[in-house]
Amino acid sequence: MLADALEHLVRGIVDDPDAVEVTRKNTRRGPLLEVRVAPDDLGRVIGRGGRVAKALRTVINGISTRGSVRVDVIDTDL
């Protein structure tokens, strides 16, 4: 449910919504949601000073019923 909500939010921000991919992983530190977007949309998802990414993390942690969830924006242009 959280991955779907995050994907919906990110699709509303980017220019290429078909390139949005959210994957869920379970790590020792807890659940992790990884967001991948088109390279041109990376700046939109991170935002100036990381404000958009921080807001996305706040919303996802707010709707989480099982505690803290990490959200990482992955740069696929490496």
Over the stretch 3-17, which tens digit does the pLDDT of each residue have? 999 999 999 999 999
Q: Identity (one letter) of the amino acid at 8?
A: H
User: Taking the alpha carbons of 67, 24, 20, 54 in that order, is the dihedral positive or negative?
Assistant: positive
User: Taking the alpha carbons of 17, 40, 56, 51 in that order, is the dihedral positive or negative?
Assistant: negative
Percent of the chain exceeding pLDDT 90 equals 83
Percent of the chain exceeding pLDDT 70 equals 97
Position 66 confidence tier, pLDDT thresholds 50, 70, 90: confident
CB 47 within 8 A of CB 36: no
Position 77 confidence tier, pLDDT thresholds 50, 70, 90: low
Report the alpha-carbon distance of residue 10 to residue 52 in Å, rounded. 10
User: Taking the alpha carbons of 42, 44, 47, 51 in that order, is the dihedral positive or negative?
Assistant: negative
